[in-house]
Each structure stands twice: as C-alpha cells, then as structure tokens.
Structure 1
Amino acid sequence: MSLRPLLDFLLYDWLQAEKLAERPRYAEHSRETFDAVLDTCERIAREKYAPFNRLVDTEEPRFDGEKVILPAATLAASRAYAESGMLSAAQDYDEGGMQLPFTVEAAANAFFALASVSINSALLTKGNANLLLVHGSPVQKAVFARNEFNGRFSGTMCLSEPQAGSSLSDVATRAVPDGDGFEADPLGPRFRLTGNKMWISSGEHELNENIVHLVLAKIPGPDGKPIPGTRGISLFIVPKKLVDTEGRLTGERNDVALAGLNHKLGWRGTTNTLLNFGEGRYPVRGSAGAIGYLVGEPHEGLRCMFHMMNEARIAVGTSATMLGLAGYYAALDYAKNRPQGRPQGKAGKDAAAPQVRIIEHADVKRMLLAQKSYGEGALALELYCARLVDVQRTGGAQAAAEAGLLLEVLTPIAKSWPSEWCLEANSLAIQVHGGYGYTRDFPVEQYWRDNRLNMIHEGTHGIQAMDLLGRKVRMEEGRGLQLLGARLEQTIARAAAQPALADEAAALTDAWAQVLQATQAAWAGGEPERALANAVPYLQAFGHTVLAWIWLDVACSMPADGSAAAQGRLAAMRFFYRYELPRIGAWLAVVARCDSTCLDLPEEAF
C-alpha cells in the first residue's frame, strides 16, 4: 500500500501546503517542485532503504577493534540521502539549501522512516547542524554545520551518562580551559573534556569523514568547583577528528573513544554507543582531555541543547508514526489475503461453506481501524506541527509568536502520543497476523521491536507528562492552552455546521471541558508533588483530546465524493471518537482528585 495518496491529501487538501509558495521565502516553489521532492524521496526510500530493512536488523553493527562495521547498504542509503539534498532541504539558499517549507520536508522524510527507520539516521545530523545555526559562531556554522548539511560530517547529541540518564543535573563530564590562550582559537573557546556519555546514537561509524559530537559538560565556577544542578552545564563541539578553519581534517584524532556498543531490542541498524572523552586512548596535542569548543555562552548549554532536543522529540514522534503505519499496511495486506474461519449466520457457522478472508471478520476490522486511526491521525498531527514551524519562520510577528507557543504545548504530545499508540498499532498488527506475526517470517515483529524505543528516548513518557502538566499548560499564564482551545473551537464550529459531524463536535466540546477542569483541579492545591503524581494519565487524556481535534479538523476537509479513501478516513475518525475518546474520563478522574494511590504507597509494600 502506498503512502503517497495519504500524504497528498494531508498536505494539499487539508493543510493547503501549496499556499506556502505565496510567501516570499518559498516564492520559487510550487506544488510542482513539492511533488518533485516527494517523488525523489519516495524513489530513494523504495530503492535504497526498504529492501534492506531486515538486513540491517540481522547484521548488527560490530566493532573490530579499530572501527565499527555496518552493512554496505547503510552507506549506500546514507550517500543517496545526502546527494538528494534533503539534509539541508529547509535551509536558506545561502546555506546550500532549497528553502523548502518544513511541512514538505517533514512529509518527504516520512518515506524514509516508513521504509527503514533503523537506517534513517540523518535526523540527529540535521538537528545538530540546526542548533549550530542558531547558537554557534560564524566560524562554527561554516566549519561544522555546513559540512553536516552537505553530508561530509554527521552529528550526535551527547547528554546522558551511565549514572545520569534523564537527570541532567547529575552530569559528571567536566570541561576545563585548554591553556592560557584558549579564547584565541578561531573555532571557539577551547576546552578539554573528560567523562563518559551513554546511549549515543550514531556515536561511532565510518559513514562520513567526521562525526561532530555536541556534548553537555560542566565547567568550573568562580571557586574552581562545578556549579551544581543544570545551571552549571555548558555545550561543546567535540569532533571525532580535528579540523582547521576551512573544515579540512588535520590528520589528528581527538580523544573520543568507543567504550562499547549497546545491543538493542530494535533500531539495530543504527549504532548506539558508550563514548569515553579524554580517557587518554588518543592523546592529542600533548595534553589530557578531548578538545571541545564552547557553543554559545558558558552555563547556557541546556538552553542551547533544547533547540536540538525539541526537534528530536518531534522526529521521534514521526518515526513512531511511520512504524505504526508500516505495521498497519502489512496487517491490511495480510488480512486481505489470509483465508480463515466462516461468517456467523443465524444458525451458526456452516462448516461446508468456503473460508473467508479474515478482513471480513468484525474484530479484525476493529483492529485495522484502530491502527488506521492511530497512524493516520498521528501523521496529521506531526505535519500540523511542521506547519507551525513554517508559520514561525514566515508569519507576521503575532502569528509567529502564537505558532511558537502552540508548538511548545504540542511537542510533548507530538513525541509521546505516537510513541504509545503507534506501538499499540504494531501490537495489533502482530495480532492480526496471529501466530505468524510472532515469527520473523513477517515484518511486524520487527516494527514492534523498533517502535518500543520511542517511548524512552528523547525524554520518557513520565518526563513528557511532567513537562506538559508542570510547565507547558501553565506557561505565560496558560496562554498556550488558551491558543490551543481557540483552535479547537474553530474546528468545532466548522464541524457543527455539518450535520454528519455534529455528534463529534459535541463530543470534542465535552472532552476539552474535561481537560480544562482537570488541569485547574490538579493545581488547585498548589502542591506540585500531588499535582504531578498523575501526570501520565493527564498526558494520555490530553493527547487523545488533541488527536480527536486533529481527526475532526481533517474530517472537515474531506471531499463529499463517497470515495473509498474518504469513507475509510471518516470511519477511522468515528472509530476514534467512539472507541478511544471515551477513555479520557477515567484518566482525568485521577488527575482531578489528585489521587495519591501511587504517590503514598511505601516502597516496602511492593
């Protein structure tokens, strides 16, 4: 089953993406150029990625003592992606980019995630380079960001440590000025780093000339000791190989060493590493420690890194979405071709009748509709978020500010909701396949394994939930929540004017009222510990309400032509409203009463 018709509908019929070409930044584009990009990416994904998805799962990365070895197909896919120009597609012409709308770039990248999320490792490189464009010096942009955009270098983000996963205030990696003249280095204030970083995706490989690590570390405070907490964290560029101011390799290896490869449940085509900085395996320029260049101001590292982290969180949501859709397409194909069982008649089954395909059974249709509603709804959400990025870049001051605030509120949902519910879609895809789904004869078990990571990396569910309830819905005195409510009200008004959507409009009105009431009740006592004790049920309810809104907005744009595609999308929307949206009542009940079942239970009781 092809992804293209769904993307075309969401881009052009729903989001009206071709109207972006009316904005000065995108004036040289048109639907014709957008379609050409989609065609190219669909072809590369079909030829260079999809045929090797199983290969990179079974031939895991290995270290031979000198270098990490990956299948040749991974290098071919990486080169094809770089040569397509997609690494810098949304960047300015001056940066070698296409000035493509981010909405179209996001849609085009969906083909790669669908074909093989495990090969599609360029997202961190883009995020790394984008961060440097915002926070790096002119020389850092020219030397590191531009060479990442052209494919010579790749990039990582190095946050977590063996003893400090998500608790960044406990980061132990240290950075000290490199000699008396460290500020004179044209690449930036030069430091020496020592420490260990864990869970670094694409932390070691031979796919590019160089790897640009963005590393969080603490520098000494005025008293010579590290500043405690996150306030002391700074951000550094630590290249695997040292370069000059023209981006040329100097021939010197930096003191960044692979300590080990993590062996994973899924995403096996991408290396995941433990890196040691400054352990002395590769002594450089006669001093201890890996050479790193400060990005931005001292002690502002976490603020800078959030630029990349938020981008990565939306990318995680998109990856989860496409894995969910990949499983759905496989399950749909299987259900259309697998004969089993007989229809239930008034007198029971007729054993003499021929078997029917399993798609004719109501419960299989239920599982397929659930997958369709999760996957297609999540894709619409991710593209909506991408559209907000374009408004930030090209809208007037007020529109850009509102888009930015809406994106702040929606980012925890864009990351976490697909990570949970498209994983559930993959579980249902296995169920549709029955016992075969549990074997490696079919791809759905790999999709589930690959997707299970997405609830963890770039901020776990619990972290996203606390960010949403503890910060995002309250920021600027609830302004972001108000803006989201206004968007919901616009959709509700449009839907209420269509008799066929009136019931859903009323259901969404009620759901949003429940969310607002629970939000207020959670904070009524002013006790963060109790308010946030049920942050995850709040996240689930909030996410379901957002997806219900997205589905209803999509439904308002569907043609009334009675086509099979329109009929299927309306059925998925109605399924979500009838089977999924009612769940929010139970979730929000524990939030509203600040239920303390989990909070108060002593450790011994377990």
Structure 2
Amino acid sequence: MSEYLIAREELEFLLWDWLDLAEDCGDAIDRESADAILDLSARLAASAFLPHYKTADRIEPYQNESGVLALPEIGAALREYAALGLFSASFPPELRGLGLPSLLANASFAQFLAANVSTAAYVMLTTANARLLAAFGNPAQIEQFALPQIEGRWFGTMCLSEPQAGSNLGDVATRAVADGEDALGERYRLTGNKMWISGGDHDLSENIVHLVLAKVAAPGAPPAEGTRGLSLFVVPKILPSGERNDVAVAGLNHKMGYRGTTNCLLNLGEGEGAIGWIVGPPGQGLPQMFKMMNEARIGVALGAAALGYRGYRHALVYARERTQGRPFGAGGGPSQAIIGHPDVRDMLLAAKCYAEGALALVLYCAKLVDRAEEDVEAEALLGLLTPIAKTWASEYGLAANDIAIQVHGGYGYTRDFDVEQLWRDNRLNTIHEGTTGIQALDLVGRKLRDGAALALLRGRIAQTAIAAAALPTLAGHALVLDAWWQRIADAVETLRDAGPGGMAANATALLRAFGHGVVGWQWLDRALLSVDAPEDAFRSGKLWACRYFFERELPKIDAWLRPIAAGSDIGAAVPAEFL
C-alpha cells in the first residue's frame, strides 16, 4: 500500500529541480542526508502510520471515567515518530531540534499526512504550539512547556473557538483573572468553554499543553469586548506540581473524517479556575495566535494536498487494472482497461493537476517560510499566498478525491476501498483553520490592500512567462497566462473601489480566480523544466498536465471574474426569507 503515498520521484522533482532545496540546506545538510530523511519518513509512514488508517476510522476515541481514550496504535506510531526526533525536525539546534529547512521538513511530513492524516494531526498541532511558545514565551515557559513538545513527550492544542464564537473571535467569552506570579510568569485563573479542540484530551502523551485565547478581567467585572482584549495563556492539562488542572472534557465531537483525532468541548474552571500563565503582554493574544494559525493553515493545506495525491494514485492504479467496456464505436472485442476511455483519462488528468498542483503550491510556501525571516519579499509573498494555499489545496485536493471515487465507480463509495475515507477526511480541510469565505476576506481585506505583495507576485509570474515565451511549445501558454493575470489584476482594482459591501459579496470569487491563476503560473514554471525530456514519462506527464490546466481549468477564471466586473451583489441582495 505504500505505493499510494507521495512518489519519491515527485518529491525529488519538486525539492531539488524546481525549488532548489540545496540553497536552503547550506552546509548543515547535504543531499545524501536529506535523501536519508525522506527515506526514513517514507518507511515509517508506511510501517507505523498507514496500517491503522482504516482501524482508527472505525474505532473512534471514546470517553469514560478515566478520561478520553484513543486507539493504542496511534500512540505507538507517535512514539516511534518521536523516538526518531521528527517532532523536532524544523526546530533549531538551540531548541534541541534537527534544524531542517521548512521545505524539507514539510516534504517529510507529507508522507505521514498521506498515510494517516488523523494521527499526523497530533504532530501538526504540537509543533505549531511549541513554535508559538518559542517565539513569544519567556525562557521558563519555553523550558517548561515548549521543549517537552519538541521532544514529542507532550502534545499541544490551540483553543480559540467557543460554542458561541467560531471564526468571530471578538465574541470569545473565556475570562482570565490575575492570580499572582511565580517562576513561569504572571499566573491567571481561567473560566469558560472551548469548542472544536482537536487533541483536546487523550491518553497518547504524558501531558497536553493548551494555548488558550481569553480576555483579562478584574474579579466580578465583565471582560473587554472585541479582539483587542484577547490575551494568550498557556494552560497545561497537568500542572508542574503534578496535579490535574481544572480543565474538563464536557464531550466529544464525532466527525465525518479525521476520526482518530480527538475533538473536544473543554470546560475551563468547573472548580476554582484553570491555572494558566500569560504569554507575552496582555492584549496581544490574537497577533501571537496568528503565528500558530498561519502555520496550521499551511499544515492543513499540506494534508489536503497529500490526501488528494493519495486518492489520485489510487485512481490511477485502479484505472490501469480495471477492465470495463470497449472503445467507443467498436463493434466487439475484449474489454479494455478503463484508462483507455477518454473520459477516464480526462478525469485522471484533472486529478493529477489538482493533486500535484496542490502539493507544489504548499511546498512553494514552505520554501517562503525558510526565507521569510530574512527576506521581506518572501515574507510578503508568504502572507499573500497563505490563504490561497489553504483554500486551493483543500478545495482541489478534495476534488481529486471526488474524482478518485468516480473512477472506482460503485466500488469507490464502499468501505472496502480507501478512496471514500480519503474523501471524508479531506472534506474537513475546507473548514479547518478558516472556511473558504474567511480566507477570501483575509485575501481581499488584508493581503491585497496596498498592492505591494501582488506586485511582487506579478513580477515572478512575468519571469516565468518570459522564459516560456522563448520556447515554441510553451509560448502560447505564456500569452494565455499573462492575459488571465491582467484580468485578475483588474478585478482586484474593481474590488478595491467597491467598498466593504462589494468586497464581501465577491471576495470568494476573486479568491478562486486568484488561486487558479497562481496554480496555472506554477504549472507553467514546472513545465519549463520538462520540455527537454520528451522520452521521460514523468516529465512528459508534467507537460500534459500543464496543457490540461491551461485548456480546461484556466478558462474557469472567466466565470469567477465576470460577476466582479459587472458589480454583482446577488449574495448580499437576496432577501434571507427567499432562501
């Protein structure tokens, strides 16, 4: 079954040929060491994560008097992962990490996400939690709470949403009252409820470190309103004294996918109040949490891409083996493999474009992460592309899984085949870390506000178009790409002048057009590396996929942009009673 995970040839092409991993590794990691890490990841993903993929879907976590219990195989796999130091992969040596570039660490992690996304989710949440603490916590908090997570002994969560406050964090009602000071900093007592907390409780690790958004309030006084009053607190399940903190599981949420990842409603302060330590200054909770949320957005996108990729690989193998029907118009003869039917090849090309395009987009963002701390242009591009990567990968990774079911026909929606579970798992990713609509408002309302990041992106797209224009086989694509991007840029200007109502009404349409434009650019950029290898089936496949995307996918941009140009307000104008 490991042949259905991320193909090594794919990773080598993306990492070394396209994204030039060597320039990010420096002297610390050579090609041989990087390859050894990828080999190790592929073997461990196949031997420890993949075998319980379907079991964890069937045997969900449950709660009894001792707490929340998860499938033992999940804990065993994560202990193997920790023993090999992979929780620490992307952390610097001074934090006891391996110091891998984000690009290499994400390529490694993609194998685990493809093998078993619900088990790998514990890793994603833990590393993001530890990275936030390493960035904003004081030395004692880093030592006490971040380092055990980097070692993989403790796991972490992010506690933002509440039953009444999902994406609108200004409505958070959890309150924190000062409770003195100790070696870990200013101590508070927290009371409130947190909903949809992945990894919120389980028996898989020694401790769980919750990062909780709450509002500081004086005793007996209401907390501040809006997001400016939000502060961030580190709230462990087990206190440094060894006592159980006042954090209780009120119930488990049962999801259609990611069933191996516990998802909890947590009550903070059923007794005297959960003890937590403020991270950084008061009122900075949301800016701090964005560091974790943005990392999680890239992580969700990588998982969506990995699931879509695995679904595509299943469909490709099935289409080559399954015989059904004869060529259209043929009077008789033996049945052919269904990959011989043009409609099936069309579906497989679409799935290839979606899955490989999503994986490439997310790894491109991972490379920007490596550059962002020292390169303001990389930081700006990363900010612009984060909502694009999160949305496009989660929507079109899911589309690849949908196609995989269709290619399997009636078998595709049975539990005997993996593709139906891959679709269910991936369906959650369009909601995880912000829905498509939320990402669209982020893109239009924040990331495109001053035009500087878009100008940088257009510059990179122009470089690709110029290189492609010099090659007869790709020159036509260069003209098409430039034309579409001019229309996207015009739509951006239209929305800037449309006011808040117009922006909100058409933000999602622009996001979708923008995402297709970015992926089209990257397909052409990779095609530049494939034109001189006509006998190489792998690289020739890239050229065919690029052609498919330009002929079948980029024209969809027109349907998204026309309503923007026309000033359509139908979403805002339709009366609610008519829906």
> Partners in 2 of 1:528 and 1:55 — Cα distance?
48
2:247 aligns to what?
Answer: 256
**Which AA in structure 2 matches 1:438?**
Y
User: Over the residues paired in the alignment, what is the CA RMSD in angstroms?
Assistant: 1.3
2:261 aligns to what?
Answer: 270
> Partners in 2 of 1:508 and 1:536 — Cα distance?
21
Residue number among 459, 484, 487 corresponding to 1:514 in the alignment: 487
> Partners in 1 of 2:437 and 2:403 — Cα distance?
24
SS at match of 1:236: strand
2:20 aligns to what?
Answer: 16
Residue number among 278, 300, 305 corresponding to 1:316 in the alignment: 300
1:293-349 alpha-carbon deviations (Å, 9 max, x no partner) = 0001101100100000000001000000011011101111110110000012xxx23
On the 8 A contact 1:521/1:593 being kept in 2, the answer is no
> Partners in 2 of 1:445 and 1:220 — Cα distance?
48
Q: Which moved more, 1:492-501 or 1:125-134?
A: 492-501
SS at match of 1:152: coil
Residue number among 319, 336, 345 corresponding to 1:365 in the alignment: 345
**Which AA in structure 2 matches 1:229?**
G
Aligned-residue offset at 1:18: 1.6
**Which AA in structure 2 matches 1:337?**
E
Aligned 1:492-571 pairs, distance under 5 A: 492-525=465-498, 527-558=499-530, 560-562=532-534, 563-571=536-544
> Partners in 1 of 2:512 and 2:492 — Cα distance?
13
Aligned-residue offset at 1:92: 1.5
Structure 1 pair 143–358 and aligned structure 2 pair: CA distance change class (3 A): same
1:108 aligns to what?
Answer: 108
**Which AA in structure 2 matches 1:338?**
R
On the 8 A contact 1:172/1:218 being kept in 2, the answer is yes
> Partners in 1 of 2:65 and 2:509 — Cα distance?
46
Aligned 1:403-442 pairs, distance under 5 A: 403-442=378-417
SS at match of 1:77: helix
Aligned-residue offset at 1:522: 1.5
2:288 aligns to what?
Answer: 304
2:57 aligns to what?
Answer: 57
Structure 1 pair 220–518 and aligned structure 2 pair: CA distance change class (3 A): same
On the 8 A contact 1:335/1:358 being kept in 2, the answer is yes
On the 8 A contact 2:60/2:70 being kept in 1, the answer is yes
> Partners in 2 of 1:227 and 1:314 — Cα distance?
31
Q: Does 2:177 correspond to 1:171?
A: no
SS at match of 1:122: helix
Residue number among 364, 367, 390 corresponding to 1:387 in the alignment: 367
> Partners in 2 of 1:369 and 1:386 — Cα distance?
25
On the 8 A contact 1:519/1:592 being kept in 2, the answer is no
Q: Does 2:279 correspond to 1:295?
A: yes
Q: Does 2:177 correspond to 1:202?
A: no
1:5 aligns to what?
Answer: 9
Structure 2 residue runs without a partner (length 5+): none
1:182-230 alpha-carbon deviations (Å, 9 max, x no partner) = 1x31112100000000000010011111000000001127994322110
Aligned 1:132-143 pairs, distance under 5 A: 132-143=133-144
SS at match of 2:231: strand
Aligned-residue offset at 1:270: 0.6
Aligned-residue offset at 1:421: 0.9
> Partners in 2 of 1:390 and 1:418 — Cα distance?
20
1:466 aligns to what?
Answer: 441
How many pairs were matched up? 573
SS at match of 2:555: helix
> Partners in 2 of 1:334 and 1:96 — Cα distance?
44
Aligned-residue offset at 1:424: 0.9
1:150 aligns to what?
Answer: 151
TM-score between both structures, scaled by the size of structure 2: 0.97
On the 8 A contact 2:477/2:524 being kept in 1, the answer is yes
SS at match of 1:155: strand
**Which AA in structure 2 matches 1:531?**
M
Residue number among 205, 211, 215 corresponding to 1:214 in the alignment: 211
Residue number among 214, 217, 224 corresponding to 1:227 in the alignment: 224
1:554-599 alpha-carbon deviations (Å, 9 max, x no partner) = 1112262221001111111111111100000110111223211111
> Partners in 1 of 2:476 and 2:183 — Cα distance?
63
Residue number among 425, 430, 443 corresponding to 2:418 in the alignment: 443
On the 8 A contact 2:193/2:266 being kept in 1, the answer is yes
Aligned-residue offset at 1:389: 1.1
Aligned-residue offset at 1:86: 1.5
Structure 1 residue runs without a partner (length 5+): 244-249, 281-287
On the 8 A contact 2:153/2:206 being kept in 1, the answer is yes
> Partners in 2 of 1:92 and 1:438 — Cα distance?
44
1:150-178 alpha-carbon deviations (Å, 9 max, x no partner) = 01211000000011111100001110011
Aligned-residue offset at 1:546: 0.4
